[in-house]
Amino acid sequence: MQTELGRKLGIEFPIFAFTHCRDVVAAVSKAGGFGVLGAVGFSPEQLEIECQWIDEHVGDHPYGVDLVIPQRYEGMGELDPAKLEEQLLAAIPVQHREFAAKLLADHGVPEMPPEEKHHELLGMSLATATPQLDVALQHEKVTVIANALGTPPPEVVERVQQSGRLVGALCGKVHQALQHKEAGLDFIIAQGTEGGGHTGEVGSLVLWPQIIEAVAPVPVLAAGGIATGQQAAAALALGAAGVWTGSVWLTVQEAECPPAQMASYLQASSQDTVRSRSFTGKPCRMLKNDWTEAWAEDDTPDPLGMPLQNMVTMDAITRTSRYASSEQAQAVAFNPVGQTVGLMNDIRSSREVILEMVEGYLDAVERLSTLSPE
């Protein structure tokens, strides 16, 4: 299960694991895959702590860092994080604040302790992602930088490539992939609508081959609904250079996931997800719950653009994470996950997931070989 991109990165299996949990990053990379740490939500100081920990626990294996710099967002052009946050705070309507606060109060989610105050603007802009990139580039074992939303700005692409690292980005449409190619990215991640987090509307089996053909010879990682080796084999059969996975790592042993949240994933079916703008301002696939349903009603505020909506909901994200053990909190919690959640029925170690994916891939390849004419 080796590809040119995998060999270039010095990894055994072209299985990329996006996660916000440092333990999963280290475990996946040590198991032969490639762990990628999602930086959004981390301050530069926190990201430095995470990267130092991974450096100490990943051995000689590489890993990546994923940033969020949208193609378009409110406040573009302002590069001072403090000024940007002040500008955006002034642009948030009071009714959005009140509606979010009422949802939390109606579900009995406690307030955060006063000493645990937080910034509302963490990521989701060039101003806040640049300090995160500064941190990532200080760590030699970080060999890949990915951008979750849109083509990275030229100065970001140049910085990453001049440092000797690879830079890539996700997309859900062919024209977005062509923009990535035009920008000179080293690889492209084509994510179908089945995936968790920010996705487009086109299914993976339709999207992958279109993008692979459109951007050739740039390597493409297939994303969106991949949790098994058989699915990975399908992606590679269509010409992908590897697979970019995310949801499956939410229910591994190393995941920092409270029991109530873990249970919500394990019990969910593929029909229990929805693409909603209610948390980030852009279409994002997550578990459907009271929060997503409330923001979709006709007589409630429409979600704001990114990153304004994310700033409105940061209090909810923080509080439901802090008190995640309560069922009331889970009813309004942010649980991004793809339709592959229907396959996530037990808790395994990250290493077991990697090895089972490899075995499933080999089984699929062997089965296909038996279908060849004599």
Instruction: State which residues form the domain around 126.
Output: 4-369
Q: Is residue 374 part of a domain?
A: no
pLDDT value at 118 more than 90: no
pLDDT value at 121 more than 70: no
Q: What is the pLDDT of residue 38?
A: 96
> Token pair of 38, please?
């999602």
> Token pair of 289, please?
């719950």
pLDDT value at 372 more than 80: no
pLDDT value at 286 more than 70: yes
**Mean pLDDT over the full length of the chain:** 93
For residues 128-150, average pLDDT? 95
Integer Cα distance of 346 and 337 in angstroms: 15
pLDDT value at 33 more than 70: yes
> Token pair of 258, please?
């409270």
pLDDT value at 146 more than 80: yes
Confidence of residue 176 (pLDDT cuts 50, 70, 90): very high
Q: What is the pLDDT of residue 126?
A: 86
Q: Please indicate whether residue 358 or residue 307 has the higher confidence score (pLDDT).
A: 358
Give the model confidence (pLDDT) of 40-96 as tens digits: 889 999 999 999 999 999 999 999 999 998 877 777 777 788 888 888 889 999 999
Q: Is residue 32 part of a domain?
A: yes
Q: Is residue 37 part of a domain?
A: yes
Give the total number of structural domains in the chain: 1
For residues 26-39, average pLDDT? 98
For residues 368-372, average pLDDT? 88
Are 163 and 139 spatial neighbours (Cβ–Cβ below 8 Å)? no
Give the model confidence (pLDDT) of 81-97 as tens digits: 888 888 888 999 999 99
Give the model confidence (pLDDT) of 220-236 as tens digits: 999 999 999 999 999 99
For position 212, which CATH number holds? 3.20.20.70
Q: Is residue 219 part of a domain?
A: yes
Give the model confidence (pLDDT) of 178-199 as tens digits: 999 999 999 999 999 999 999 9
Give the model confidence (pLDDT) of 235-264 as tens digits: 999 999 999 999 999 999 999 888 888 999
